[in-house]
Structure formats: C-alpha cells, structure tokens
C-alpha cells in the first residue's frame, strides 16, 4: 500500500473532540510503536478559526478577531481524511517531539509556539484554505 500521509499533509479529523477540524501532519508513524500498535500521526490543527474582518473595524478588534486557537494531538490513521493540500512546516517540527505529550506543561508550551506560527501564517495570507471553516 502506498504511504501518502506524510509530514506536511493537511488532513480533516473525523472522530473525537476535534471532528471536522483541519490539521497538518507533523510526524507520521506508519507501523505504530510498542505502546500504539496501529498507524498514527502527530497533528497540529486549528481548533477555532479566525473570524471575518471588515474594513471599518478598528485595529484592536481586527487583532482580536484574527486569533487562531491551535491543538496538538496523536490521531489514528483511521480517524483522519487526507486532503490535496500541504503546508511547509519546518518550524513546527522542532517544537513537537515524542515527549511533548508526556507532560501537560510541555504540551502548553508547544501550543503557544504553534499558535504564534499559525497566526503569522494567517496574517501573511498564506494557506488561506487551512484557516477557513469547513462548509458543513
């Protein structure tokens, strides 16, 4: 079978708390590990996407509505659907490692870094589709 879920691929989460949310694969484990005997991926995604901004809004309001709330999660391959989109994520790869999920404080630090990276990407206008809500 061809391995097509690679790092950088944008996926839609199908099950669980973040069902219907977009995420990008940071690390993939096709064969699984000792603890997880199935294929899985570490993903970073958008829990709450930015709101619509109009021309007559002030700077403060625009800044508040342009916030992105991220999440990081280990997801089974069966619970994600790949899309045709991809993101380059050199900075994100360095922030999330295997031991990030062992302690809540490390997870929070990783989320803060990802939030900053996602907001920068949103402000520059790159990968617009990733930050839009799904239509359904």
The domain 9-130 is classified under which CATH number: 3.30.70.2660, 2.30.30.770, 2.30.29.30, 3.40.50.300?
Answer: 2.30.30.770
- What is the predicted pLDDT for the residue at 10? 94
Q: Is the pTM of this model over 0.85?
A: yes
Q: What's the helix, strand, coil split of the chain in %, to 5?
A: 35, 25, 40
Tens-place pLDDT, residues 29-85: 888 888 888 889 999 999 999 999 999 999 999 999 999 999 999 999 999 999 999
What does the mean pLDDT of the chain come to? 88
- What is the predicted pLDDT for the residue at 116? 92
- For the chain, how far is it from start to end, CA to CA, in angstroms? 31
* Alpha carbons 41 and 28: distance in angstroms, whole number: 4
């Amino acid at each position: 079978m061809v391995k097509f879920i690679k790092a950088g691929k944008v996926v839609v989460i199908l099950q669980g708390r973040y069902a219907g949310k977009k995420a990008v694969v940071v690390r993939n484990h096709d064969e699984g590990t000792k603890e997880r005997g199935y294929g899985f991926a570490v993903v970073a995604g958008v829990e709450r996407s930015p709101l619509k901004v109009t021309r007559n809004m002030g700077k403060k309001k625009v800044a508040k509505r342009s916030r992105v709330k991220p999440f990081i999660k280990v997801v089974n391959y069966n619970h994600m659907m790949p899309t045709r989109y991809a993101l380059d994520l050199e900075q994100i790869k360095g922030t999330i490692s295997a031991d990030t999920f062992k302690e809540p404080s490390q997870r929070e630090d990783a989320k803060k870094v990802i939030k900053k990276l996602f907001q920068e990407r949103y402000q520059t206008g790159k990968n617009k589709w990733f930050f839009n809500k799904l239509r359904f």
